[in-house]
Structure 1
Amino acid sequence: MLAAAAILAVLAVRLGAAPFVDGLRHTDPRGLVVALAVTAATTLCCARRWSLIAHGLGVGIRFGAAYRTCYRAQLLNATLPGGVLGDLHRGYRHGRDSAALGLGLRSVAWDRGSGQVVQAALAVAAVPLLPGALRGWAVGALAAVLTLAVIVGVGARREAAAALGGVWARVLLLSALAAGAHAVVFLLAARIVGVDLPTPRLLALALLVLLASALPVGVAGWGPREGAAAWAFAAAGPGAATGVEVAVVYGVMSLVATLPGILVLRTSRASSVPAVPAGKGGPTWASGPTSC
């Protein structure tokens, strides 16, 4: 929270309040409707990805329940500090209902982690479209993310094989669709503000900024997202103030798009499938309650 507040304070001192106020003023009702529709689709992708991964770990969750739970998690992520408490909550609830707390939590970790790795890979592919001043920094940051992912995958290769082994292609596709859809919403926010950069370059900037917004700092990315947008748009030409304005429009659109999660906020159970007992066809390490 302090880090996010510091970023926003620096931006306010350097740029004034105008970019923040203009971002709120430019938020368009039609854009909010589009964000609601796109988020419904991306939530479907994320719920399907989680259900595939959870099934591989022996703590399956039915798709309908996963969809409702992901919406609730997004709402909590968007309104509570850190931006990950909703995911921690869904992992805890799913693990508790499955009588396998550790695996429930790790199913969410693999789900969220796989999505971030694919998003980073897409950002790597988009590096040639970035302004020259951004490429070196972007390559360094993305290399660190992907290196960490490889280390985790190798260190937990047995569990990674169970979580992703038979479904990695579908997980890859679902993650790419979700990341691409979020980038399209960011592109829409930029067009609402009036940014006239070419679409390929805007999408590359969007992937970079959205990766920064995934940092567990602040509330739903507020702070890192605005800082990254100011830096990226300053290098790309429109200016730091324009970047902040776009980030604010996107932030409001994203927040409104999570509001359907209110409808399932008090759902009592996640309709989990119990963990597979040892010797009954599932991984023996996935049976019974486990620790985190």
Structure 2
Amino acid sequence: MQPAPRETRAAAVAPDASTPRRGSAAARALRTHFGTVAGVAILGLLLWRLGTGVFLDGLRRIDGPTLAVALIVGAVTTVFSAWRWQLVARGLNIRLPLGAATADYYRALFLNAALPGGVLGDVHRAVRHGQSAGDVGRGVRAVVLERAAGQIALTVTGVTVLLTVPSPVLVEARNVAPLALFAAVGAFAVVTAVRMNRAPSTRGRVLRRTLAEARECLFSRRNGPGVALSSAVVLAGHIAMFVVAARVVGVDASALVLLPLAILALVAMGIPLNIGGFGPREGATAWAFAAAGLGEGDGLSVAVVYGVLSFAASLPGALVLIARWYTGLRERAQAPEAADAAAGPADTARNSGNSKAEVSGSAAADPEAAQVSNSTYAPKDSARLASKAFPFSAEPREGRPMTPDSV
């Protein structure tokens, strides 16, 4: 008995392509919601350890003047962020007015704060701007580079503050900094050696192009000063919001003591394992306040109040979202009316053409009717004279020259 062909055995062993792969679907779902699950786990652990009183106590202290300050600080940081986005887009040869950039940035901040993950608003901003500019790739790169500028400013400021300003994390930072620097230099040397011994590839060309765009958008003589200034103002606004939150909770520490703690909280906010910003920020702030001797409960309350104030500062983005949605509904409602209005003159012209064709046909059938029709509808002599003299008067008056009727 001969063995079955290899193709037959492979077909029998290979799974059906139409059969859903439950394991891969579960893995994709886990990767998609991993950030939300991690944020929920962090908040649950903090609630289990410290209780819900710290949350409620911080929320009770927020009043109207505090919300007004949050809105003012949020307006300043949003305008300067939009300006930074405009400069980066200009470096990529994309037109972006400052007013439209500010409105889109407000909308992105609100979506970041209201939706899980903390980055969906930026994704929406990148795609919409790319579609309006006719190049989605450039729109996405503009947003990525704009956000990278903010992270670079935070990294430079954070390293400087944590290594120079006295704080409970200073000793730990000094112990970790040499190891981190050594690891970074070693990784850079390994990557450089591998790239030197490898033939140029498409990925390498893409990387070089990306680095060239980053230099032009962020560090060029035309864009560099504006990007640096806007990033410094935005970072200062976030730190000021953190100090305001600490004062609302009742922490009397000086701004110099709170500065490294605010830097740690902002760094933790960049970790995409949160629910609308809540998660790692609360854990890092509670740990930092406990290490500073200010109490981990107060640290958690400060982080919660900061999150609420940041959400309040992004609320104008909800108004922008509603206004854009209402404008889209009106445009879709007016589209059929415009189509009907455009179709009206075409129907009239078509009907008049049919009438003329009917008249010419009847004239060809009856010559006498054609003569009567011509004599009836022929223009009069005075009308012909007026048409020749238009727009001047047809009859001179008292020997004066003919002038326009409107004079």
Instruction: Tell whether the structures are fold-level matches, with TM greater than 0.5.
Output: yes
Contact 2:265 2:281 in 1 (8 A): yes
Check if 1:160 corresponds to 2:196. Answer: no
- Counterpart of 2:242 (choices 162, 186, 198) is 186
Specify the SS of the correspondent of 2:277: coil
Q: CA deviation at 1:83?
A: 0.6
- Counterpart of 1:46 (choices 52, 77, 81) is 81
Equivalent-residue separation in structure 2 for 1:187 and 1:114 (angstroms): 23
Contact 2:216 2:223 in 1 (8 A): no
The amino acid that maps onto 1:20 is F
Identify the residue that residue 242 of structure 1 maps to in structure 2.
298
Equivalent-residue separation in structure 1 for 2:165 and 2:65 (angstroms): 29
The amino acid that maps onto 2:281 is R
The amino acid that maps onto 1:98 is A
The amino acid that maps onto 1:129 is V
The amino acid that maps onto 1:21 is L
Check if 1:121 corresponds to 2:168. Answer: no
The amino acid that maps onto 2:227 is V
Contact 1:38 1:181 in 2 (8 A): yes
Describe the shift of the 1:44–1:236 C-alpha distance in structure 2 as closer, same or farther (beyond 3 A).
same
Q: State how many pairs are aligned.
A: 264
Equivalent-residue separation in structure 2 for 1:138 and 1:184 (angstroms): 26
Kindly report structure 1 stretches of 4+ aligned residues shifted beyond 6 Å: none
Mean alpha-carbon deviation: is it higher for 128-137 or for 6-15? 128-137
Q: CA deviation at 1:238?
A: 1.0
Equivalent-residue separation in structure 2 for 1:138 and 1:50 (angstroms): 34
- Counterpart of 1:79 (choices 102, 105, 114) is 114
Check if 1:22 corresponds to 2:43. Answer: no
TM-score relative to the length of structure 2: 0.61
Contact 1:57 1:103 in 2 (8 A): yes
Specify the SS of the correspondent of 1:174: helix
Equivalent-residue separation in structure 1 for 2:170 and 2:45 (angstroms): 20
- Counterpart of 1:213 (choices 248, 269, 288) is 269
Q: Which segments of 5 or more consecutive residues in structure 2 lack a partner in the other structure? A: 1-35, 192-206, 328-407
Equivalent-residue separation in structure 1 for 2:174 and 2:232 (angstroms): 19
Q: CA deviation at 1:249?
A: 0.9
Equivalent-residue separation in structure 1 for 2:139 and 2:166 (angstroms): 38
Identify the residue that residue 172 of structure 2 maps to in structure 1.
136
The amino acid that maps onto 1:33 is A
Specify the SS of the correspondent of 2:44: helix
The amino acid that maps onto 1:163 is C
Equivalent-residue separation in structure 1 for 2:284 and 2:174 (angstroms): 11
Equivalent-residue separation in structure 1 for 2:115 and 2:286 (angstroms): 24
Describe the shift of the 1:135–1:175 C-alpha distance in structure 2 as closer, same or farther (beyond 3 A).
farther
Q: How does 1:4-15 map to 2 (within 5 A)?
A: 4-15=39-50
Identify the residue that residue 19 of structure 2 maps to in structure 1.
none
Equivalent-residue separation in structure 2 for 1:243 and 1:49 (angstroms): 31
Equivalent-residue separation in structure 1 for 2:103 and 2:307 (angstroms): 22
Q: CA deviation at 1:14?
A: 1.2
The amino acid that maps onto 1:158 is A
Specify the SS of the correspondent of 1:83: coil
Equivalent-residue separation in structure 2 for 1:22 and 1:179 (angstroms): 27
Describe the shift of the 1:61–1:138 C-alpha distance in structure 2 as closer, same or farther (beyond 3 A).
farther
Equivalent-residue separation in structure 2 for 1:139 and 1:252 (angstroms): 34
Alpha-carbon displacement from aligned partner over 1:31-69 (angstroms, at most 9, x marks no partner): 111000010010010000000000111122111110110
Equivalent-residue separation in structure 2 for 1:213 and 1:140 (angstroms): 21
Equivalent-residue separation in structure 2 for 1:131 and 1:223 (angstroms): 23
Identity %: 45
Please give the root-mean-square deviation of Cα atoms over the aligned residues, in Å.
Answer: 2.4
Identify the residue that residue 60 of structure 1 maps to in structure 2.
95
Mean alpha-carbon deviation: is it higher for 164-173 or for 87-96? 164-173
Q: CA deviation at 1:11?
A: 0.8
The amino acid that maps onto 1:72 is R
Identify the residue that residue 382 of structure 2 maps to in structure 1.
none
Q: CA deviation at 1:139?
A: 7.8
- Counterpart of 2:227 (choices 167, 171, 195) is 171
Equivalent-residue separation in structure 1 for 2:277 and 2:270 (angstroms): 6
Contact 1:83 1:216 in 2 (8 A): yes
Alpha-carbon displacement from aligned partner over 1:253-280 (angstroms, at most 9, x marks no partner): 11111111122115379xxxxxxxxxxx
Check if 1:225 corresponds to 2:286. Answer: no
Q: Which segments of 5 or more consecutive residues in structure 1 lack a partner in the other structure? A: 270-292
Alpha-carbon displacement from aligned partner over 1:93-147 (angstroms, at most 9, x marks no partner): 0001111101101100000111111012111121132523455258858968xx6
Describe the shift of the 1:99–1:74 C-alpha distance in structure 2 as closer, same or farther (beyond 3 A).
same
Describe the shift of the 1:12–1:188 C-alpha distance in structure 2 as closer, same or farther (beyond 3 A).
same
